[in-house]
Amino acid sequence: MIIFPAIDIKDGKCVRLIKGDFNQMTSYEKSPLDQAKIYFQNGFKNVHIVDLDGALKGKSSNSKIIKEIIKSFELKIQIGGGIRTLDDIDSWVKSGVDKVIIGTAAVENKNLLKTACEKFKNKIAIALDVKDGFIFLSGWKKQTNILASNFLKEIQDFGISRIIYTDINKDGTKKGPNIKDTIELADKVKIPFIISGGISSIEDVKKIKSLNNSNIEGVIIGKSIYDGDIKINQLAKEI
């Protein structure tokens, strides 16, 4: 199972939100580059990066910082936030990221998603941000009437490399992940799922690892690392 420590960037800083609410945002002292260095030095190979300004504005605002991380460390980076066009995807693929995450654009333009999967094979991941079964878009500001389960049925044969499933009700709360709903959705398709949102302790990580569900590929951990609930050297032992 892959463990993805997270770096969420807003205005050039590492931040974490609670339930996607920008009014409940905590900024941290370490720069995104310093945070990536800590992950790299502790033996992590995969990092999850989100450009929150990009998610809100629909275009990347922190690409310079992210590209500096890509150049500085030998990491497999999955990047999301404000990626809306084939040109955006092409630019990130050329810069050396492992996976490009599409959220809003994937839901609003399934043709774009299909084309992207065909053109950039094994590079496209989807961010499925869900609250009470329904998909949210644009940095979680926009609710749709699309059920995640219905959307998955429509796109399951496109060639998507992974799905990052975030339960918005859990994200940033450190109250434990929504394993039940994640597995329920993951079992509907043959696409690897990443669990995201609510990881509170090393026990949560161990629990996910023990699931032995072949469709659960990994887990993303953010706020618990930043707040010190999960020590990075402890987490490194679970890689």
How far apart are alpha carbons 6 and 46 in whole angstroms? 9
Summarize pLDDT for 154-167 with one digit per residue, the tens. Answer: 999 999 999 999 88
**Catalytic residue selected from 51, 53, 98, 129:** 129
- Characterize the bridge pairing of strands 13-18 and 2-10: antiparallel
pTM (predicted TM-score): 0.92
According to DSSP, residue 191 is labeled S
Average pLDDT estimate for 162-176: 84
How far apart are alpha carbons 221 and 95 in whole angstroms? 24
Task: Tell me which amino acid residue 222 is.
Answer: G
How far apart are alpha carbons 178 and 171 in whole angstroms? 10
How far apart are alpha carbons 186 and 194 in whole angstroms? 9
Q: How confident is the model at residue 54 (pLDDT cuts 50, 70, 90)?
A: confident
129 catalytically annotated: yes
Please state, in angstroms and as integers, the Cα–Cα distance from residue 174 to each residue in 4, 59, 184, following that order: 16, 29, 21
Residue 145 has pLDDT above 80, yes or no: yes
How far apart are alpha carbons 60 and 81 in whole angstroms? 7
> What CA dihedral angle connects 207, 212, 215 and 221, to 10 degrees?
20
Q: Give the CATH number for residue 135.
A: 3.20.20.70
Spatial CA neighbour of 7 closest among 51, 56, 70: 51
Q: How confident is the model at residue 31 (pLDDT cuts 50, 70, 90)?
A: very high
Quick count: other Cβ atoms within 10 Å of Cβ 104? 23
How far apart are alpha carbons 94 and 165 in whole angstroms? 26
11 catalytically annotated: no
How many structural domains is the chain composed of?
1
Q: 3-class DSSP state for residue 110? A: helix
- The first and second tokens of residue 213, run together, are 């569900």
User: Helix %, strand %, coil % for the chain, to 5?
Assistant: 35, 30, 35
How far apart are alpha carbons 125 and 123 in whole angstroms? 7
- The first and second tokens of residue 143, run together, are 């609710």
Summarize pLDDT for 211-239 with one digit per residue, the tens. Answer: 877 799 999 999 899 889 999 999 999 98
Please indicate whether residue 40 or residue 22 has the higher confidence score (pLDDT). 40
Strand partners, 137: 142
8 A C-beta contact, residue 194 and residue 217? yes
Domain that holds residue 37: 2-236
